[in-house]
Structure 1
Amino acid sequence: MMSTLEAVRISRGLTQIMLARAASVSQTTISLLESGHSTASTASLDAIAAELDVPAALLIPPAPPVQLLHTMKESVPARVTKRITAEFTLAFLRIERLLPVTRHTIGTPDIEDEPASAQAERLRLQWAAAPGGVLDIVTMLESHGVICLRRDLSGTRVNALAAKSGRWRALMFIDPRADAEDASWAVAHELGHLALQEAMDGDQEDRAEEFAGEFLAPPIRAPEVARRRCRRR
């Protein structure tokens, strides 16, 4: 689990050595603080906080646990994954302070080996989604407790990423540079990760794609087609 200090440091684009030099402390001090194996003097903590431009009190409490659900491609550098994890960690910290009771309402699979498409249909029913395609998936997610934020996802090779902290708290990062259609699909894909997390295995990305297709644009059932024809007469 990433510490609050590590998350803030990474979000500022600093290495441990860079921060240690700027704050006039040793790299060992930074390393031990980030791993939770040491405490710093008030003077050292104040110096570190000043360099990071945050209150010293922010660096003391443990950070919330963060789990990225997307399997990053092998070509994505580890430093990019760390940067995104740090940004999720800080976002969850802010949410704990501003919206402490926010909980998502995404159910988990209760049928073993249930197809991803069936789980998508089940979630649409649970959320009382209107028949046909989803026109605004971001608004839908936020109305059910998934907080969506615009974040630069450069280097990740995706247009959206989801993470959870604990059982009932979820965040979605959406790249503001993505066009609306690509962003909607990416968000639906990440929603698949959140909905299917308890049943994911090696083919999780394929299952998330299957979920996204069914959730965004479910096939029109025969009775629904008949009803639409009647309404047009």
Structure 2
Amino acid sequence: MSTSQAPSLFAGERLVLARQLAGLRKSELAARIGKSATAVSAWEAGTKRPTAANVTELAVGLGVTPAFFAPRGVASSVPGSVPHFRSLRSTSQKARDQAFAYGLLAVDIADAVEKHVEFPEISVPSIEVTLDDGDDGPEEAARELRRAWGIRPGPVKHLVRTLEQHGILLIFSPTQTSAVDAYSFDSSSRPVVVLNPVKNDYYRQRFDVAHELGHLVMHRDAEPGGRLVEDQAHRFASELLLPAADLRPLLPTAMNARSWDTFGALKEQWGVSIQALLFRARRLGAISDVTYRNAVITLTQRGWRRSEPGLVTAVEQPSMLPRSLEILEEAGISRDTLIDQARAPRMLFDIATARVPIVEASDATVGENPSNVVSLLGRRRQSGAP
């Protein structure tokens, strides 16, 4: 987009997205570019158009190109549902806006890549549950999903890849939005799960993924952040990862030294934390409330509430976007070309298409190689690709 075209090809919602990506309020952006907050509000609302010089100032101030502000050809940066954030009281609206803006940008990036590569077909059932503490709706929803996806009894071996194989986009968020935990939403293109980049814990990440999957399956129209909605997602995740029929016979019914060894072995077998196993054991009636509380006290005394011991040191890795980029590079379609087509800032493009969280080099982890999800997305489109 040339400078002369900028005013006529300017969309206010793209300015909103760029401002939220930068983590700025309207007044803060106005101060950064030397304009009034009233002017910024008018540009975002579409009641006034910025001049070409204004667009350049906005692009420089927000770290994007002028082309970023052009309207999208399709409404990809439009959520199909509100995002499911946890801990609404502990994170500011500005932090949530910044995190969600990144999720929407990731959808733009995926859309740009999908013009060249076939992604797995979206196959996420919508299972209605009532917002009622007393029924087993979340557990039945998890069992129904297992049946729909053909998940065999026992542990789910690679949960991230399982979601990708059914068309869900999984990405790590930038570290600047790490105050917001994992979250999910249903975009106009495909469902999205955004993972926390600093929670470098294989066991807890898997539970996060299962929790967010629960929202995508059960809560497309539910108000996010409520206690009951979050509790239902936890129950869904517990049944998905730790099916009652399979787990109950394996659980200790009392807590002693041997019981802790048993829970440690179950942690490695099922890929969930000891805390999640204890919670599940209480819910299934294997241990009493008193026993559960005493066990949690022991976890605290051992320092395991924050950092449990475990044998797996690398988180599960998304492969849909990173493997697609490798395929396209082999076919002569460069990263720079995709960045231009997505109109994304390079750093955020790199974060969204990475297999591991992009954090300080000393904190980066090395994980598994992509598996059969690659075969599902590993061929270029034969026709219709620009």
Q: TM-score, normalising length from structure 2?
A: 0.51
The structure 2 residue matched to 1:37, chosen from 24, 47, 50, is 47
Within 5 Å, which residues of 2 pair with 1:1-233?
3-61=13-71, 64-66=77-79, 67-99=82-114, 104-109=122-127, 115-151=137-173, 152=175, 153-156=177-180, 158=181, 160-166=182-188, 169-178=190-199, 179-198=201-220, 200=222, 203-220=228-245
What is the CA-CA distance between 1:33 and the residue it aligns to?
1.7
**Partner of 1:31: helix, strand, or coil?**
helix
- For the 8 Å contact 2:185–2:191, the answer to whether it is kept is yes
> Displacement of 1:125 after TM fit?
1.3
Q: Is the 8 A contact 1:121 1:214 kept in 2?
A: yes
**Whole-angstrom CA distance in 1 between matches of 2:218 and 2:98:** 25
Q: Which has the higher strand share?
A: 1
Provide the C-alpha distance between the structure 2 equivalents of 1:114 and 1:121, rounded to a whole number of angstroms: 11
Worse-matched range after superposition: 58-67 or 128-137: 58-67
Q: Percent identity?
A: 26
Displacement of 1:177 after TM fit?
Answer: 2.4
What SS does structure 2 have at the residue aligned with 1:104?
coil
SS in 2 for 1:173: strand
Q: Which runs of 4+ in 1 moved over 6 A?
A: 111-114
Q: Structure 1 stretch 170-179 or stretch 136-145: which is displaced more?
A: 170-179
Partners of 2:129 and 2:218 within 8 A in 1: no
Partner letter of residue 170 of structure 1?
A: P
CA shift at 1:118, angstroms?
A: 1.0
Alignment length (residue pairs): 219
Q: Which structure is larger by alpha-carbon Rg, 1 or 2?
A: 2
- Kept in 1: contact 2:138–2:235 (CA 8 A): yes
SS of 2:219 mapped into structure 1: helix
Give the match's secondary structure for 1:68. coil
Partner SS state of residue 148, structure 1:
strand
Q: Aligned in 2, Cα 1:36/1:215: closer, same or farther, shift over 3 Å? A: farther
Structure-2 change in CA distance of 1:137 and 1:42 (3 Å):
same
Moved more, 123-132 or 98-107: 98-107
